[in-house]
A and B are shown apart, each in its own frame.
Chain A
């Protein structure tokens, strides 16, 4: 039976994952499994930027996927970036297997405000569903409330729901291929990285 793997990567407070697992299972109608993978964050740390390269995190995360893994979602505290952008909340392979979400900028304390665990958990759920949505082949959606609506700052995340709009929901169903299809999928940009 294929699972969505939830992988904590040097995540200090793993209690966030308990609710997340349940809700992700409900939303995608798939079972989840929590397991730690071998991901070395030191290898992907950029000293100049004091951030972690999310593409390289993903690369490690999906290097040896378990046979029963349909999707793998890494959750970490580290602040992520891709080279062209100052930061990213997360990253996923479009139509692939792996996704990663950083909690670093989901906490209110990052913005100098009082911490709100509930809010951080809600943001984590939305970003996790969003990135997993990409792995199911969904692109950004222009519907304001849809979870696939692009979020470039934290207020965007708060404005949208954790649910797919009807069109994206249909899109997900279309993408529910046998897991082998995901395994075979290699993105051109991914291939180049080697």
Chain B
């Protein structure tokens, strides 16, 4: 970090101390500001950004320990250094307990002061870097790749490439689990904004007041529980992309506020009066029918047109069955690696079962099914029995519908038996029958296995 990027605030009631420190840090090139008492320091911290605060312990009015507590409430990441002319173990311990970076006794050796500030700057740099890296890792953890060879997904990716080059607002539509966020990230990573963050927010996950504060941020004390000043997602997405998921779930007031921000590119934090310029691109997603919502009056038409400049409709997994083996293999590789299991592929039967299923939960469901299969897989290949479909598809049911009730019962019991690895008590429990009944059924259908480790036939 360059010195001019670091703001230092000096709080001391002694003018000579303020002046000498001011001059000392100014010569190092830092942005320096001073305050002669706690209240003024807090006011300055609200108005400008300081990274490091040097504060005297003994001051008229609010003392340094109290001031430090309040500073940490405003921004916990501000590095505080306590100064005192009368060192006492009690105040030193209290100061450090309350989160002071260091504690110095005046006068301080020039070399110690230089080292102290260098270390404080380094700490501040690491904190900032840490926040950025966490965000980056979060982005990396989500699979960036859009997998698929089908015509439907190729068409989607062509649209992604076209729109990524522009700054247009994009509406991604599609059923739950079709990969709307993945597409948003794909647009961001192909756009000129790719070196800046993409901030995702699930609008459906917050109560109205909370969503407002999540988006716009808030000043300390702007509402009950607003203990600290907090940057909103709009501020965090500066120069980057803001991904608003489940946009169809926001309240009317929020719709109005959002429309204003999109139109003016300016906003204020809750409880604040400072106008903040915002430079972001919006990508939003919904699985709701917004046209219908406009008709019944629950979604603003003007906002809809603002958001729906360019829309991308994602196909369901059922509509791109050709891609299922490809995507399943992609997840298989990922999970096998992360679980450190030697699972190479799907058996042909397992592969067919995957293709045959309807996937009402789309890719999310497919991913979970693959993850589960990798967990339970015994060998190098995933078998049909390793797969569990929570919602047996209509197609499967229909194909079995031609069989008699007895045949259905036979198949079902056999499946559950093998699923329970031959554990009679467990299988009986799943089937909701007594063990005796299950024994009788096994005998009736003639299920047998030569080896206790093998499946029932």
Q: Which residues of A contact B22 (CB under 8 A)?
A: 188-189
Q: Is the CB of A140 within 8 A of B28?
A: yes
Q: Is the CB of A85 within 8 A of B109?
A: yes
Residues of A within 8 A of B (CB): 49, 53, 55, 81-88, 91-92, 94, 134, 139-140, 150, 152-153, 187-190, 192-193
Which 5 pairs across A and B sit closest by C-beta, in order of nearness?
A82-B20, A152-B111, A189-B19, A152-B110, A139-B29
Q: Is the CB of A83 within 8 A of B108?
A: no
Q: Is the CB of A94 within 8 A of B26?
A: yes
Complex Cα gap A188–B32 (Å): 12
Q: Which of B9-17, B231-239, B337-345, B357-365 contacts A (4 or more CB under 8 A)?
A: B9-17
Q: Which B residue sits closest to A56, measured CB to CB?
A: B16
Q: Which B residue sits closest to A93, measured CB to CB?
A: B23
Q: Is the CB of A139 within 8 A of B16?
A: no
Known contacts A94-B27, A139-B27, A150-B28, A85 near B110 by CB under 8 Å: yes
Q: Which residues of B contact A91 (CB under 8 A)?
A: 23
Q: Is the CB of B18 within 8 A of A152?
A: no
Known contacts A152-B111, A152-B114, A84 near B26 by CB under 8 Å: no
Known contacts A55-B20, A192-B15, A87 near B26 by CB under 8 Å: no
Q: Which residues of A contact B110 (CB under 8 A)?
A: 85-88, 152-153
Which residues of chain B in 249-297 are interfacial with respect to chain A, using CB atoms and an 8 Å cutoff?
none
Q: Is the CB of B114 within 8 A of A85?
A: no
* 16 further contact pairs, Cβ within 8 A, besides A82-B24, A139-B26: A49-B107, A55-B20, A55-B23, A84-B24, A84-B83, A86-B107, A87-B110, A91-B23, A94-B26, A139-B3, A139-B29, A150-B114, A187-B23, A189-B34, A192-B15, A192-B19
Q: Is the CB of B19 within 8 A of A140?
A: no
Q: Which B residue sits closest to A151, measured CB to CB?
A: B110
Q: Is the CB of B23 within 8 A of A83?
A: no
Q: Is the CB of A134 within 8 A of B108?
A: no
Q: Which residues of A contact B431 (CB under 8 A)?
A: none
9 contacts between A and B (CB under 8 A): A82-B16, A82-B24, A84-B17, A84-B20, A84-B107, A152-B109, A152-B113, A152-B114, A187-B23
Q: Is the CB of A84 within 8 A of B27?
A: no
Q: Is the interface of B mostly helix, strand, loop or mixed?
A: helix
B109 to chain A, nearest CB (A): 5
Q: Which residues of A contact B15 (CB under 8 A)?
A: 192-193
Interface residue tally on B, bucketed by range: 20 to 34
Q: Is B106 an interface residue (CB 8 A)?
A: yes
Q: Is the CB of A140 within 8 A of B108?
A: no
Q: Is the CB of B114 within 8 A of A83?
A: no
Q: Which B residue sits closest to A140, measured CB to CB?
A: B28
Q: Which residues of B contact A134 (CB under 8 A)?
A: 27
Complex Cα gap A153–B21 (Å): 18
Q: Which A residue sits closest to B20, measured CB to CB?
A: A82
Complex Cα gap A55–B21 (Å): 12
A53 to chain B, nearest CB (A): 8
B110 to chain A, nearest CB (A): 4
B117 to chain A, nearest CB (A): 11
Complex Cα gap A118–B21 (Å): 33
Q: Is the CB of B21 within 8 A of A84?
A: yes
Q: Is the CB of A139 within 8 A of B28?
A: yes
Q: Is the CB of B18 within 8 A of A85?
A: no
Question: Which among B23, B108, B114 has the highest number of chain A CB atoms within 10 Å?
Answer: B23
Q: Which residues of A contact B109 (CB under 8 A)?
A: 85-86, 152
Complex Cα gap A24–B72 (Å): 48
Q: Which residues of A contact B111 (CB under 8 A)?
A: 152-153
Q: Is the CB of B27 within 8 A of A85?
A: no
Q: Is the CB of A189 within 8 A of B23?
A: yes
Complex Cα gap A163–B337 (Å): 59
Contact with A along B100-120 (1 / 0, CB 8 A): 000000111111011000000
Q: Is the CB of A94 within 8 A of B108?
A: no
Q: Is the CB of A85 within 8 A of B108?
A: yes
Complex Cα gap A124–B26 (Å): 23
B223 to chain A, nearest CB (A): 37
Q: Is the CB of A83 within 8 A of B26?
A: no
Q: Is the CB of B18 within 8 A of A189?
A: yes
Question: Which among A53, A85, A87, A153 has the highest number of chain B CB atoms within 10 Å?
Answer: A85
Q: Which residues of B contact A81 (CB under 8 A)?
A: 107
Contact with A along B28-43 (1 / 0, CB 8 A): 1100001000000000
Q: Which of these, A49, A53, A84, A92, contacts B108 with CB under 8 Å? A: A84
Q: Which residues of A contact B21 (CB under 8 A)?
A: 84
Q: Which residues of A contact B83 (CB under 8 A)?
A: 84
Q: Is the CB of A83 within 8 A of B20?
A: yes
Complex Cα gap A26–B173 (Å): 73
Complex Cα gap A193–B22 (Å): 13
Q: Which residues of B contact A187 (CB under 8 A)?
A: 23
Q: Which residues of B contact A88 (CB under 8 A)?
A: 110
Q: Which residues of A contact B14 (CB under 8 A)?
A: 83
Q: Which residues of B contact A140 (CB under 8 A)?
A: 27-29
Q: Which residues of B contact A53 (CB under 8 A)?
A: 16
Q: Which residues of B contact A94 (CB under 8 A)?
A: 23, 26-27
A152 to chain B, nearest CB (A): 4
A27 to chain B, nearest CB (A): 19
Known contacts A150-B114, A152-B110, A153-B111, A85 near B16 by CB under 8 Å: no
Complex Cα gap A88–B29 (Å): 18
Complex Cα gap A86–B104 (Å): 12
Complex Cα gap A139–B114 (Å): 14
A128 to chain B, nearest CB (A): 15
Question: Which among A82, A84, A85, A150 has the highest number of chain B CB atoms within 10 Å?
Answer: A84
Q: Is the CB of A85 within 8 A of B24?
A: yes
Known contacts A55-B19, A192-B19, A193-B15, A83 near B27 by CB under 8 Å: no
Complex Cα gap A175–B114 (Å): 26
B103 to chain A, nearest CB (A): 14
